[in-house]
Amino acid sequence: MNDKKNPRFSVFPILISGFLLYSFLNTIIITFSLIREFPQVIIEQNPTAFRELIELHQKLEEVGKSKNEIHDEMEEKFERLFDPITKIDEFSKKSVDIVNSLFGIIGLTIVIYYHLPLFRYFHRLRKEFSIPEELRILSQKRIVYSAYILGFVPVGIIIIALLFNGITLYFKIEKSDLKNLILTAMALEFFSTILVGTLIYHWQKYRTQHYYIQYIFKPEELREKFPIRRDISLKNRLWLLVTVTTFFPLSLVLLFVLPSISIVDSVSLLNEYQIEMLLGDYFQTIEKAGIKDIALEILYKQIGLANIPFLLFVNIIDTPILIAGLFVGIFISVVYSIVLIRFSTANIITPLKELQTKMLETSKTGNYENYVRVQNNDEFGDLGEGFNKMLHGLAEKEKVKSLFGQYLTREISEEILNGRVKMGGDRFEATIMFSDIRNFTNMSEKMMPEEVLSFLNSYMEIMIDVIVEEGGIIDKFMGDGILAIFGVPIRSNTHAEKALNAAIKMQIALGNLNQKRNDENKNDIKIGIGIHTGTVIAGNIGNHKKTEYTVIGDTVNLASRIEGLTKQFESSILISDATYKLLPEKMMSGLSLSPIPETKVRGKNETVNLYQVQLNL
């Protein structure tokens, strides 16, 4: 194999990308949370902290301290404001950091250990080393669940660590504002973890189907679903996709918006300017309409604007935070949704496109080897497997047709396979033709058995082609004799004409064969052909152990008797009066027919009118 064509298996780019995305989301989320909650946390820990900081700065300026000295003392004082956070950090060095490191190592170890067979398999594949069968089988099992392991094992590890650290810190801290900060951070990290895990799952699923799986499974192994647990259904995958591309991004945006909204618990009597600020553009509309006084009276007296229980607003400090949060949240949501939809839709569209392509190719070429690759254990796997089973069934049916065609004609085999042949049989108006080699018994006695078989095969090959060319079918071979039928199983109005045309062409082909035999110093052979038209019963005869498609009736017997008379009348072709009457005028005008009236036929009480076909060969 060419080393360039074999992919290098790796999960680290996806893990690193997921880690960077996770860190990016958490950094932004925690930064906004700290900006919003940190003042309340500091004030709760030390209510006079900011006042003391300002007083210290004024005092240092009064005593004539230099700027560097003021900066150093202010920095020392400012760091004391972070004592609550510093204490938490000291505690987390013994618990949170240890837990994060421990769970991180556990998660990475599980991912690497699970994918070790795949690393080994693709390494040997690229180096063109022999691959043990047990390694290939193990790699098949591992690659199927790779997306789950890579996407959801780290997610589970992070959530467990997050719960452990969050609960530990929550009960360690007594101040409510700091607890709220921790709960907010936990909720945001949970969202970002789910988002990253879902993206990694679809990313690895995409890589598995497009780059890896065809190198581990043989083509014939990809014709059926994997013998493993069923994959996530398409319905659930679509629900998951809708959730992570709508609900989670919207939740992320709301988590930026809601903390920026301030609440005023009670509002006293508002003046006109405050009402204008409160109503915004609506106040200007009221004023332009000339109903300001009436509207204010209604607002004061009937709606109760004079004593509103609370108001929601965004203050001037939180406004830029809100705008920045909305921008970042929407940007992250849009980019994330585009990337996720790119991978998830590819996992849906790719198998459908492949199936469509294979269906079109099969319909155009009739090639029943156009199997699709079944790479999923979901509804698409069911669809692909069903298509492959259909192709296999059609291929088997075609093989049966081909085998039948070696024993029966294609027309009969198709009628049988399509279930249109009854055991009781059907009536047909048909023309029966018997042919036989003259003195074949005496001729075969002078030949070895192998020579007899070789001669018959070469003779039959020529005669069969002529009969089939005229639309006849071979019912059976009787030693050197041939029973051919015209008008069965496909009904025809020209069966008599076709039978006679076939008989004439058989005699012409025999002349060519005799010419070759003369060149080989062999004697000429002669055949007699008898043709009769009438009603026959065509169908299957036998039982479930042995069944044969054939025709029966007096018409068949009479055709055989007529062929037997060709030697008596020294004729190469004899036809009955029933056949003669069905021949078109144009055909009869080009033939030399000699009547043989009231001929006695063995086994028949009545005489039969026959016609001898004269050939000038």
SS (H, E, C) 436-460: EECCHHHHHHCCCHHHHHHHHHHHH
pLDDT at 407 over 70: no
Q: Which of 37, 60, 80 is the last residue of a domain?
A: 80
What average pLDDT does this structure show over 590-598? 86
Average pLDDT, the chain: 79
Q: 159 and 293 share a domain?
A: no
Asked whether residue 360 is domain-assigned, the answer is no
Q: 602 and 455 share a domain?
A: yes
Q: 273 and 184 share a domain?
A: no
What average pLDDT does this structure show over 447-468? 88
The rounded distance, in Å, linking the Cα atoms of 605 and 420 is 36
**What per-residue confidence (pLDDT) applies to 354?**
83
In this predicted model, what pLDDT tens digit does every residue of 566-585 receive, in sequence order? 988 889 999 999 999 999 98
Asked whether residue 559 is domain-assigned, the answer is yes
pLDDT at 392 over 50: yes
Most confident of 71-85, 121-135, 171-185: 121-135
Question: Residue type at 544?
Answer: H
Lowest mean pLDDT among 21-35, 395-409, 416-430: 395-409
Asked whether residue 362 is domain-assigned, the answer is no
Q: 452 and 520 share a domain?
A: yes
Q: 60 and 155 share a domain?
A: no
**What per-residue confidence (pLDDT) applies to 507?**
92
Asked whether residue 398 is domain-assigned, the answer is no
**What per-residue confidence (pLDDT) applies to 201?**
87
Q: 456 and 511 share a domain?
A: yes
Other beta carbons less than 10 A from residue 514's beta carbon? 16
- Contact assessment for residue 242 and residue 330, using Cβ atoms and an 8 Å cutoff: no
Three-class DSSP category at 598: strand
Q: Which of 331, 349, 367 is the last residue of a domain?
A: 349
More confident residue, 44 or 516: 516
Distance of CA 159 to the CA centre of its chain: 34
User: What stretch of H or E contains 596?
Assistant: strand 592-599
**Which residues form the domain of 132?**
3-47+90-257+323-349
**What per-residue confidence (pLDDT) applies to 30?**
72
In this predicted model, what pLDDT tens digit does every residue of 527-569 receive, in sequence order? 999 999 999 998 877 776 777 778 899 999 999 999 999 988 8
Asked whether residue 389 is domain-assigned, the answer is no
Distance of CA 266 to the CA centre of its chain: 62
Of residues 125, 47, 42, the one with CA closest to residue 86? 42
pLDDT at 315 over 80: no
Q: 189 and 109 share a domain?
A: yes
**What per-residue confidence (pLDDT) applies to 1?**
39
Cα atoms in the Cβ-side hemisphere of radius 13 Å centred on 405: 10
Most confident of 92-106, 249-263, 468-482: 468-482
**What per-residue confidence (pLDDT) applies to 116?**
94
Asked whether residue 332 is domain-assigned, the answer is yes
Q: How confident is the model at residue 2 (pLDDT cuts 50, 70, 90)?
A: very low
More confident residue, 335 or 129: 129
Lowest mean pLDDT among 164-168, 175-179, 489-493, 560-564: 175-179
- 486 - beta bridge partners? 431
Lowest mean pLDDT among 5-19, 286-300, 525-539: 286-300
More confident residue, 124 or 75: 124
Q: 211 and 223 share a domain?
A: yes
CA angle 427, 433, 436 (to 5 degrees): 145
More confident residue, 57 or 429: 429
Asked whether residue 474 is domain-assigned, the answer is yes
**What per-residue confidence (pLDDT) applies to 114?**
94
Distance of CA 466 to the CA centre of its chain: 48
More confident residue, 379 or 171: 379
The rounded distance, in Å, linking the Cα atoms of 155 and 591 is 92
Indicate the pTM of the whole model. Answer: 0.57
pLDDT at 498 over 90: yes
What average pLDDT does this structure show over 202-210? 86
**What per-residue confidence (pLDDT) applies to 494?**
92
- 532 - beta bridge partners? 432
**What per-residue confidence (pLDDT) applies to 158?**
86
CATH number of the domain where residue 571 is located? 3.30.70.1230
In this predicted model, what pLDDT tens digit does every residue of 138-152 receive, in sequence order? 998 898 889 889 988
User: Can the peptide bond before residue 489 be classed as cis, meaning omega within 30 degrees of 0?
Assistant: yes
- The DSSP line for 140-203 is HHHHHTHHHHHHHHHHHHHHHHHHHHHHHHHHH---HHHHHHHHHHHHHHHHHHHHHHHHHHHH
pLDDT at 80 over 70: no
More confident residue, 169 or 144: 144
Q: 241 and 266 share a domain?
A: no
**What per-residue confidence (pLDDT) applies to 447?**
84
The rounded distance, in Å, linking the Cα atoms of 322 and 586 is 98
Most confident of 121-125, 209-213, 295-299: 121-125
Q: 173 and 281 share a domain?
A: no
**What per-residue confidence (pLDDT) applies to 186?**
78
Lowest mean pLDDT among 192-196, 286-290, 341-345, 415-419: 415-419
What average pLDDT does this structure show over 444-448? 84
Q: 68 and 118 share a domain?
A: no
pLDDT at 182 over 80: no
Structurally, the chain folds into a number of domains equal to 4
Lowest mean pLDDT among 247-256, 334-343, 376-385: 247-256
Asked whether residue 356 is domain-assigned, the answer is no
Q: 19 and 76 share a domain?
A: no
Q: Which of 57, 80, 103 is the last residue of a domain?
A: 80
